[in-house]
């Protein structure tokens, strides 16, 4: 691939990773294959972004690449998802119970509602999340690595009290900012960072896309293409009618709302460029999607069964391979 006619330069790409709980194991599989392709110099990776589970994947991939290259990035992605999986006897039972409750609630079953501030296991869940990240990523090295890598890292979160979209970029990324991006408000307390409180980035940018264009990039390299790993399907064959199907579709549409606002921005910029309304140094940017598919119900976003996670990883690699084979 080249950046233009007669050019021998690789196509510059940025990869944006949508959030979606356990379904983002698919994203890890996609990244494993795409990073290999970039390593072969077919493409030049200039940015990674993510929200929620997508933020976990983007951060793991970015850290591994900046630390020692593609093999390291692939290894960290595999290790993190292995550790997130429910493997102990207690985890296996609690995971099955949580998935069953999620399906029951999606079918309209009455469940008592509790705030995460009222539940004793909230702090343990937060600590496990942070411990898993910090086992595989030395966050104290992020500023050093951010100085030497040419790849941007951008994570999305929502400022709860200010009602603003927030991104944490490059040297500002810590274990707490990844947690902030993934802090689902029904499961985690809001995450405090510099006197601001954050929730899951689903309520802001899911994932950040236009930041690849609007903020200063390293080495002034903006992408020629943005590849979006999409967890929530855009299209459904049928109108949902059952309580569970309606709940699933509401979850998907909510997860896609901010994404398509981000993509719309890119499309409007492209329109202005094509009409000659912007300076000639602006170039159109192609946006491509690699999607999970529409066969998984929303309650399985909390499923950490190891076999389920492994299937998603494998699916991600297959979909990425199909995507690359379809490239011109």
Instruction: Give 96's strand partners.
Output: none
Residue 93's pLDDT band (boundaries 50, 70, 90)? confident
Beta-carbon contacts of residue 266 (< 8 Å; ≥ 6 apart): 209, 210, 213, 226, 285, 287
- 4 domain-assigned: no
- 223 domain-assigned: yes
Which carries the bigger pLDDT value, residue 112 or residue 186? Answer: 186
Average pLDDT, the chain: 86
pLDDT at 113: 66
Domain of residue 242: give its range. Answer: 12-326
Highest mean pLDDT among 9-23, 87-101, 105-119, 312-326: 312-326
Residue 314's pLDDT band (boundaries 50, 70, 90)? very high
pLDDT digits (tens, 9 = 90+) for 164-207: 888 999 999 999 999 999 888 777 888 899 999 998 877 677 89
Is pLDDT above 60 for 51? yes
- 5 domain-assigned: no
Share of the chain above pLDDT 70, in %: 88
Residue 153's pLDDT band (boundaries 50, 70, 90)? very high
Which carries the bigger pLDDT value, residue 281 or residue 318? Answer: 318
- Average pLDDT of the segment spanning 32-48: 91
- 7 domain-assigned: no
- Average pLDDT of the segment spanning 55-61: 97
pLDDT at 91: 83
Residue with tokens 């951008």: 154
What the block records as the tokens of 18 is: 């949508």
Residue 311's pLDDT band (boundaries 50, 70, 90)? very high
The helix/strand/coil state of 193 is: strand
pLDDT at 280: 77
- 2 domain-assigned: no
What is each CA distance from 290 to 25, 45, 228, 237, 261, in whole angstroms? 14, 16, 6, 19, 18
- 209 domain-assigned: yes
Is pLDDT above 80 for 275? yes
Contact call for residues 61 and 77 (beta carbons, < 8 A): yes
Instruction: Give 165's strand partners.
Output: 158
- 149 domain-assigned: yes
pLDDT at 308: 94
pLDDT at 302: 84
Nearest-angstrom CA–CA distance, 312 and 27 = 8
Nearest-angstrom CA–CA distance, 76 and 138 = 12
pLDDT at 109: 64
Beta-carbon contacts of residue 36 (< 8 Å; ≥ 6 apart): 70, 74
The long-range contacts involving 2-7, CB below 8 angstroms and separated by at least 24 positions, are 3/224
User: What are the DSSP E strand ranges found in 33-76?
Assistant: 43-51
pLDDT at 5: 40
Question: For the whole model, what pTM was predicted?
Answer: 0.89
Work out how many domains the chain is built from and give that number: 1
Is pLDDT above 80 for 213? yes
- 3 domain-assigned: no
Residue 118's pLDDT band (boundaries 50, 70, 90)? low
Which carries the bigger pLDDT value, residue 207 or residue 256? Answer: 207
CATH code, 247: 3.40.1090
């Amino acid at each position: 691939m080249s950046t233009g006619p007669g050019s021998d330069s690789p196509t510059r790409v940025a990869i944006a990773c949508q959030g979606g709980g356990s379904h983002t194991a698919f994203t890890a599989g996609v990244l494993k294959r795409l990073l290999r392709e970039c390593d072969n110099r077919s493409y030049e990776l200039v940015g990674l972004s993510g929200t929620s589970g997508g933020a976990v994947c983007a951060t793991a991939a970015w850290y591994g690449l900046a630390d020692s290259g593609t093999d390291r990035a692939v290894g960290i992605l595999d290790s993190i998802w292995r550790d997130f999986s429910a493997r102990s006897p207690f985890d296996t039972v609690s995971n099955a119970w949580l998935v069953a409750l999620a399906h029951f609630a999606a079918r309209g079953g009455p469940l008592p509602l509790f705030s995460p501030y009222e539940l004793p296991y909230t702090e343990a869940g937060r600590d496990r999340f942070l411990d898993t990240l910090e086992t595989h990523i030395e966050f104290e090295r992020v500023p050093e690595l951010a100085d030497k890598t040419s790849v941007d890292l951008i994570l999305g979160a929502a400022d709860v009290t200010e009602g603003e979209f927030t991104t944490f970029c490059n040297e500002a990324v810590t274990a707490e900012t990844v947690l902030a991006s993934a802090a689902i408000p029904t499961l985690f307390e809001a995450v405090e960072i510099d006197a601001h409180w954050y929730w899951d980035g689903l309520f802001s940018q899911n994932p950040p896309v236009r930041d690849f264009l609007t903020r200063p990039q390293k080495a002034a390299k903006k992408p020629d293409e943005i590849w979006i790993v999409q967890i929530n399907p855009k299209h459904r064959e049928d109108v949902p009618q059952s309580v569970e199907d309606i709940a699933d579709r509401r979850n998907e549409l909510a997860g896609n709302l901010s994404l398509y606002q981000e993509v719309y921005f890119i499309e409007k910029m492209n329109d202005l460029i094509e009409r000659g309304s912007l300076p000639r140094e602006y170039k159109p940017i192609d946006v491509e999607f690699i999607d999970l598919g529409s066969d998984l119900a929303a309650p399985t976003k909390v499923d950490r069964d190891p076999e389920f996670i492994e299937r998603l990883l494998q699916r991600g690699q297959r979909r990425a391979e199909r995507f690359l084979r379809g490239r011109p």
